[in-house]
Each structure stands twice: as structure tokens, then as C-alpha cells.
A and B are shown apart, each in its own frame.
Chain A
Amino acid sequence: MTPDFLAGEWLDIGWVDEIPLRGSRTVQVEGGDDIAVFRTGEDKVFALLDRCPHKHGRLSQGIVHGGAVACPLHNWRISLSTGEALGEDRGCTPTVPVRISGGRVLLCRAGTLKAAA
């Protein structure tokens, strides 16, 4: 199969099922920060820079609930769709557009580069 990522815009990173439900995996970007890819209880996939806006906690290691992730370091809740801190906290982490195609997770190449830079 011609992988979508060679076509340019989208990076094919694997099957949706490789991310645990209510869990997360990372994508390493050479020379940049990791991208955290999340799968919610409702089977939606989101990607954020793996860096909490507070003190750079690895969001990929947090607890995913509803449409948010709780940062493992100081429990800020970060929206998976906008990267914004929820509740009283203020801050935002870059998001990376994701697409699902036939069970494959595709990350936006430009977004990935921008976020990880």
C-alpha cells in the first residue's frame, strides 16, 4: 500500500487500536519534543505536544477522562481538543491535527513539525 505519509501532508503513525482506550502513546520527533496521541473512552483520537503548559509535565502519562487529560505532575486538566488548561488554570499546549482513515491514525505533518519545533 502506498503509505499516506509519503504522499506528504499526513503522517501515518499506526492503528487506532495501538493506543489503549482512555490512554495515550507518544510519537518521537527527531530534534524536537514528543507528540502525545490520546484515545478517549469514546474512541476519539487527539494529539498534543507532550508538554504541560504548567511545568512541562508529560501529558502522555496522565489519566484521560472525558475529553481531557489530567497532567501527572500537578493534576492540571488539559482539553484534548484545544490544548487549553481547564477550570481555574491558564495555559495552552499546541495541538496537532489528527485524522482517522480506515482505522489508521494520521497526524498532520506540518502541525507535527510546528508543535515539536
Chain B
Amino acid sequence: MKHDPIQLPEGDAREHLVVIGNGMAGCRAVEELLARDPARYRITIVGAEPLVNYNRIMLSPVLAGEKTFDDIVINGTGWYADNAITLMSGDPVVAIDRAAHTVTSRSGRTLAYDRLLIATGSDPFIIPVPGKDLPGVISFRDMNDVETMLAAAGRGGSAVVIGGGLLGLEAAHGLSLRGMKVTVLHIMPTLMERQLDEAAGWLLKTALEARGQTILTGADTAAIVGDGKVEAVHLKDGTVIPADLVVMAVGIRPSVALARAAGIDVGRGIRVDDHMVTSDPAILAVGECVEHDGQVYGLVAPLWDMCRSLADALVGAPSGYKPSATSTKLKVAGLDVFSAGDFSGGDGAEDIVLRDASRGIYKRVVVKGDRIVGAVLYGDTADGNWYFDLLKKGTDVADIRDALIFGQAFASGGGQADPKAAVAALSDDAEICGCNGVTKGKVLACIDGGAGSLDAVRAGCKASASCGSCTGIVESLLALRLGDAVEAGPKTMCKCTSFGHDDVRREIVAQDMRSIPEVMQKLHWSTPDGCSSCRPALNYYLLCALPGVYKDDQQSRFVNERMHANIQKDGTYSVVPRMWGGLTNPRELRAIADVVEKFDAPMVKVTGGQRLDIFGIKKEDLPAVWADLNAAGMVSGHAYGKSLRTVKTCVGSEWCRFGTQDSTGLGVKIERATWGSWMPHKFKIAVSGCPRNCAEATIKDFGIVCVDSGYELHVGGNGGIKVRATDLLCKVATEEEAMDMCAAFIQLYREEARYLERTAPWIERVGLAHIQSRLLPDAGVRAEYARRFRFSQQFMQDDPWAARVAGADREQHAPMARFQPAGAMA
């Protein structure tokens, strides 16, 4: 490397181009320039790194041991010499003097320029947590970082990578291959959420976990701790993860300090025009450090386009930079992930989705007005470039649309293939259903044997019963064999799937599915992230199947359950605190009265459920209202939830001259035992002290009517549009038996009813005899239901209001910003 550049050959009158930054964009810009006019400028490159120009992208394979530094050098010393470029490496520029047209380096050298090119790239973003400066906390940006990681890996131990984006995952992969125990912390719910949709993000997470990495999503780092060097990472939820090395890969920020200090116009990056010229006409900028038309970049493809426009302008043939779509690939061996363009649906956009659960493949192409606008591929990325090419060229894909998702070979080969003809042409021993190994012959035999609907085929020979990816083919076979005589099956959950509620629930348990994206992938959802019908249902089914394990998805909840209050037609909310069994006391009443006054609630009313409802509370005020009610010992009444609502009671034996048992006391006990539980629909309970039934127990989901000899237990009643009186389930002698039966019944309902099916229609569908056969003959089975209910209640009975008051989901209650049109924003 040369180090004595300032001696100018006498009489060299060419303009002097000084480049700050010996990285990918800076050197590529010089290459482009040399290709156009090798003699036009005298060139000096000043670089902070003590190295020649190398391929930064390939640092990941170097870390993973697939390449060496020598393999990734783009331009070695020979290139600088051959092109008479002076390289000052390992000596960053510290100041630009625009008036004098000079730059000064850290070692004190001053260079005069005619044109200056700033190509300083980006700085890794360091999250401002305590401990960020401890030795052992590094970023992943240059060769120096890689060397630090290799040294740490040589000592073994644990590494924590903060950031589950492209960079973080590549670092994690390399460190894991080098033998470290790796944990990835990602603050968002899905990995690489910028590039991948939820479905692909989930597949990726599963694959990385299978390789032994620990992936924590929704993980918010609180502090990095250690005595003299890093020892552990603490999360905000209290988790502590031991770490000998912490790699922060949470993002990058354009490196603009130098330009800003020189008074050049800087926004998020150094602002440039279409020819990469900054606010100072003698100074250009290129690469990740620039902002063009409001955009900053973090991938090389657009930088190469910038370099071309820059070189065109420098030789007097300006062409102008136009941003174009970008595509991304993850460089982790054996994991094929590709994304390109805009894969958000939006108007007129249609998704073509292919999911092959058994091969772990997910493909999604987004088409708008007969043109591809985006693509996400997981597991099989062979066609990524083809889609990207069609996208960039804006090719009309109307003709190949039906076959598009199967890839280039299929679409351009037998493009006009009719799916029915294709199915007809299959041989009898062709396998139709990979999950259950069912051939075409078997499916046809099943149809000929009387199966006239998709559902009957599923029941008869199992074809399409597991993941559903062959549903289309089975339907074609039905149509082929039966023509118009195909019967419609039972209703599917929604238009996103070919499965009904019961099938989905059964498969969630059978295949031990753990998240909404997993269900959507394994059961071949036809939409990328479901709809407002299936999301809440899936969220409930998972919550019910995995008590204490499944993490509730707030965005899959209807507003009332998300806000823990009832939305009113004017957008305000009503708040109903729990009043156990309809009982209250001066302290609670006072707290409610105070809230009404303090928050100017326009109305407070006694509900039909024996408690008080405060109306007209603003979204922003909810946490404060709850805090006041909590302080008086009250918790959420779940008046908004598909959950236990109220337990109505009557006066009972304690006061009433007809009362046979302590209905009030039993009601309170039952409410204490059942509150907080999520259910398929709302659930109401009542306890009446005698057959006069003042608590209206016989129109409740579970009703108790006390009699001299014990307790009559009634189920499946409701008021509402279609009133249904309860059926008598059984009679028991003691309070304890009544409570056990209540718990068992609720759990049976939770496990078997469809989402949004109240007990009344459920019992009409399955029959009282079915319920009795589950709960009555075998005390062991009954106890098991009750045990499962009580187990899940352990995780359900924390007051959601208290959690919000303590700051959970704070953003749900506060506006993101306020805008005062007259002046600046607050």
C-alpha cells in the first residue's frame, strides 16, 4: 500500500478527484469512471480501514468459514497501481474545508481537491442501553468485527446477537457454525420483518431453531451487564441470558458526521440530486451515506445504479439515477429465502400463494394489474430472479398467471395447461395426498364408494385431511367423476381456508402447532395473514390448546378485547368493573362515583348483569380510570370479552325467606374461580336460591338453581334474539360438586365449541346427550376436564387492567403524534 501521495507529478493539470471511503460504493464509482474515461481525473482514495477494497457482503461467508479474506478482495494493490490511483488507507478524513477545497486526515495530511466524492457508507446503530460500551460488545460491519468474532468463537461460550434482520441472522449463523451457543434477540414478532412476511418469517425461525439457535422474538433488551467485560444480557421482561460476546445488528445509520460538520445539506443521509451531487456543486456523494429523494439504502444493487449515474455525470454525459425495486437473499447455507419489491397487498393487488407444508415451501407472488409487484419465496428460491426480472421489466403476466406460482419452467412450458385435464391425465397410482399417502386410484374409489363431497373424501380416505395442499386436486377429481352432483361440504372457517373449524382445531392439537403463522402455513391458508374472521378464531384455539405457552396476539383481537373496554358508537369506551356476584360496598361505590366525576363520564348505569357501567371514557383516559378502580380493589369485568361475563346471584338463604342455600356466596365463589377465562363466546352464569329463580339462572350458559336437597345444574341457556331456556344437566348434593361440574363444563365448551358459538347453539348442534356422556358417567374424566380448566386459569387470572396501568401496551392508548396546524408539532 502506498503512503506518500501528495507529490504531484509536475504539470499534471488534470482535475484532482478525492474519494473519501475505500468501500464498495467509492471504489465501484471509480471503476465506472475509469471505464468511461480512464485519463480524465487524477484520483486519490482515502480509506479509514487499513485494507484494500473488499466485498463487505462476503464478510458473512468469511465468518462462517466458507471464504477467506483473500477470496473477497475486489480490488487488490495491483488495481490501484495500474490505474495510478493513490490509496491512503488506515487514515480517515477528519475535516473538509469547502472554502479552501481541501480535506484533512487524522494523521494530519491535507489534500487539495477539485472534486470530492464522499462514500463513507454507514455506521452501525448501537442501541443506547447500559453496558453498550463494555468490551465484548461489537457490531458487524467490517473485517475488524469479523476478527473479533472469530477470536471470541475460538474461546467458545455463548453469544447473543441483538437484531433478527439479515445481518443479525448471518452473524448468528456464522457464530453458531464456529461452535458458539447462540441466542438471537429480535424486538419484533417475526424475523426479518422488513423483507419477509409473517409466514416466511415463521418458517425461518423454525428452521434456525432446528439448527440449535435460540430465537427470542418480542425480546426487548434492557441492559448489558458485566464486570470489565460483557457477561450477560438482561431483557425488559426479566430474562437473563449469559453472553461472552454480544453482537449488535439492529440497523445502520448513514455516516454523515463529516459532511454535516462541513455544512453540506444533510437529512437522514447526505442529500444528493439525480447525479449524486450534494448541495455543494464540487462535492458528490454515493453509497449508503446518501439520501436520494427522501430514500436511504442498505443494499448494494441501488448503489451500483448510483455509481453509474455518478460516472456518467463526471464525464459530462449525465443520465440521472432512478430508484428501482430491490431484492434480498439471506446468505445462510441451506436456508433459501428471497424477497423482492412490494409485497404488501393494497388495492387491486392479488396474492398468489403456494404452500407446501411437507417440503417446507412457501411462495407468494403479488400481482397488480397483470404485473408482478412483489415476491416472497421460502424454501425454493430458484425462481426468485425470474420473478424479479418480470417485476423490474413490468412484464404483462396475464397469459401465464394461472401457472405463475409454479415457476418459470412450468409457466413458460405448458402455460395453457388446464388443471382438470392435467388431473385427468394422471395415472391411477399417482400420489395425490403426500401427507397420508393417498393415490389417485384410492381417491376415485372413495368417490365411487359414495363420497360426494370434499369432506366425505377427507373422512373416507384421508386425502386432503392433513395439510390441505391437495384440496384443489381432490376437488378436480370430484368434479371429474361427479360433474354437478358434487355436494357442498360443511362451511369452511372463512374464505382463507378449505378447512372447517373442527378440522383446524383437531390439527392444531394433533400437529402441536404453536402460532398463527404456523397454522396458516401447515394448513395452506390462501391468504398471507388471514382475515378478521379467522385471526381471532385461531388466536383463541391456540390460547385454549396451549395454556401458559401461547403468546396472545393482540392484533388478532377485536377492538374491545384489545382495549379491555367496550367501544361505543362515538368512539369512546364504556368501563365495567367486576362486582363479584353482584355484591358491592361503599369503597367500590365511592371509587366509581369519583371516577364518574373526575373523568366527566356522561352516564353511569346499572347493567342487566348486576353491576355498574361507566360510559363515555376516552381511549387516552382508560389507564387512569382503571388505576383508580384498581386502587379500590376492583378488576376488569370483561364486559367486552369472549370470556366469563357475570355471575348473577339472588339474595339466597342468608336473607330471603324462601332461600334454600347460600346462592350469593356460591355465586361469588364461582366468579372468583372462573373470571378471566377466554372462551369461544361470552359466557354467563347465575345462581338462584330457590326455584323462583330470581337470578334468571335458566337463561344462562351455566345456571344453578338451589333446592332443599342440593343444586340443580342447568346448561345452554341465553337471552338475546333467540331466547333459549337451559337443559338440566344433572343434580348434585354439595357446593363443591357444583363448582367441579361448572369447571368441567366450561372446559368441555372451551375445547369443543367453535369460535363465536355460544353454549345454546353448541348444545343444539351436538346434543345434550353428548355433553352428559362426557361429564356424567366417569368421575375421572370429569375431574380431568376440571383440572385442565383450573390449570389454564393459573395463567388467565391476572387483571388486564392492572397490566395496562403498569404500562403494558401503552401505545394503544396514546396518539403517536399531535399536530397543531398553526405551528410546529408538539
A98 to B193, CA, bound (A): 19
Further contacts, 4 of them, CB under 8 A, given A61-B563, A72-B558 = A26-B816, A62-B532, A72-B559, A72-B560
| B535 contacts A by Cβ under 8 Å | yes
| A11 contacts B by Cβ under 8 Å | yes
Q: Which residue of A lies closest to B342 (CB)?
A: A44
| B108 contacts A by Cβ under 8 Å | no
| Contact status of A6 and B347, CB under 8 A, knowing A13-B817, A30-B819, A41-B529 | no
Is there contact, CB below 8 Å, between A21 and B193? Answer: yes
Chain B contacts for A106, CB-based, 8 A: 294
Is there contact, CB below 8 Å, between B555 and A23? Answer: yes
A43 to B555, CA, bound (A): 14
A54 to B560, CA, bound (A): 19
A58 to B530, CA, bound (A): 21
Q: Which residue of B lies closest to A22 (CB)?
A: B555
Is there contact, CB below 8 Å, between A2 and B821? Answer: no
Chain A contacts for B535, CB-based, 8 A: 63, 65
A72 to B557, CA, bound (A): 11
Chain A contacts for B254, CB-based, 8 A: 102
B182-199 vs A: 1/0 string, CB under 8 Å?
000001111001100110
Q: Which of B198, B815, B819, B824 contacts A112 (CB 8 A)?
A: B819
Q: Which of B268, B291, B343 contacts A42 (CB 8 A)?
A: B343
Chain A contacts for B345, CB-based, 8 A: 40, 42, 66-68
User: How far apart are B473's CB and chain A's nearest CB, in angstroms?
Assistant: 26
Chain A contacts for B824, CB-based, 8 A: 5-6
Query: Chain A: interface residue count, which band?
Result: 35 or more
A66 to B528, CA, bound (A): 7
B residues with a Cβ closer than 8 A to A are 187-190, 193-194, 197-198, 251, 253-254, 267-269, 291, 294-296, 342-347, 349, 351, 527-532, 535-536, 554-560, 562-563, 567, 569, 571, 811, 815-822, 824-825
Is there contact, CB below 8 Å, between A26 and B815? Answer: yes
A40 to B783, CA, bound (A): 44
A57 to B571, CA, bound (A): 7
Chain B contacts for A17, CB-based, 8 A: 187-188
A11 to B530, CA, bound (A): 32
Chain A contacts for B528, CB-based, 8 A: 41-42, 66
User: How far apart are A35's CB and chain B's nearest CB, in angstroms?
Assistant: 8
Interface positions of A from 4 to 27, Cβ below 8 Å from B: 4-6, 11-14, 17-23, 25-27
Q: Which of B198, B343, B818 contacts A30 (CB 8 A)?
A: B818
A26 to B527, CA, bound (A): 27
Chain B contacts for A64, CB-based, 8 A: 555
Q: Which residue of B lies closest to A58 (CB)?
A: B571
Is there contact, CB below 8 Å, between B816 and A18? Answer: yes
> Chain B binding site: helix, strand, loop or mixed by DSSP?
loop
Is there contact, CB below 8 Å, between B532 and A65? Answer: yes
Chain A contacts for B268, CB-based, 8 A: 1, 101-102, 104
A81 to B197, CA, bound (A): 18
Q: Which residue of B lies closest to A25 (CB)?
A: B816
Is there contact, CB below 8 Å, between B344 and A40? Answer: yes
A27 to B556, CA, bound (A): 22
A residues with a Cβ closer than 8 A to B are 1-2, 4-6, 11-14, 17-23, 25-32, 34, 37, 40-44, 46, 55-58, 61-68, 70, 72-73, 75, 77, 79-82, 84, 99, 101-106, 112-113
Chain B contacts for A26, CB-based, 8 A: 815-816
User: How far apart are A14's CB and chain B's nearest CB, in angstroms?
Assistant: 5
| Contact status of A101 and B296, CB under 8 A, knowing A55-B569, A61-B559, A73-B567 | yes
Most buried by B among A13, A41, A58, A84: A41
Chain A contacts for B251, CB-based, 8 A: 103
A55 to B268, CA, bound (A): 41
Chain A contacts for B536, CB-based, 8 A: 63
A104 to B820, CA, bound (A): 19
Chain B contacts for A27, CB-based, 8 A: 815-819
A32 to B822, CA, bound (A): 12
Q: Which residue of A lies closest to B294 (CB)?
A: A101
Is there contact, CB below 8 Å, between A63 and B556? Answer: yes
Most buried by B among A12, A44, A46: A44
User: How far apart are B269's CB and chain A's nearest CB, in angstroms?
Assistant: 7
| Contact status of A58 and B819, CB under 8 A, knowing A41-B529, A80-B346, A84-B347 | no
Is there contact, CB below 8 Å, between A43 and B816? Answer: no
Q: Which of A14, A40, A102 contacts B296 (CB 8 A)?
A: A102
Chain B contacts for A56, CB-based, 8 A: 571
A-B contact pairs, 9 of them (CB 8 A): A11-B825, A12-B825, A18-B816, A22-B529, A31-B821, A40-B344, A61-B567, A62-B559, A73-B567
A73 to B57, CA, bound (A): 49
Q: Which residue of B lies closest to A45 (CB)?
A: B344
| Contact status of A102 and B532, CB under 8 A, knowing A25-B816, A44-B342 | no
Chain B contacts for A2, CB-based, 8 A: 267
Chain A contacts for B189, CB-based, 8 A: 21
A54 to B351, CA, bound (A): 27
A11 to B351, CA, bound (A): 32
Q: What 3 A-B pairs come out closest when comparing CB atoms?
A: A44-B344, A67-B345, A42-B344
A110 to B471, CA, bound (A): 50
Q: Which of A20, A44, A55, A66 contacts B527 (CB 8 A)?
A: A66
Q: Which of B342, B351, B818, B825 contacts A5 (CB 8 A)?
A: B825
A57 to B570, CA, bound (A): 7
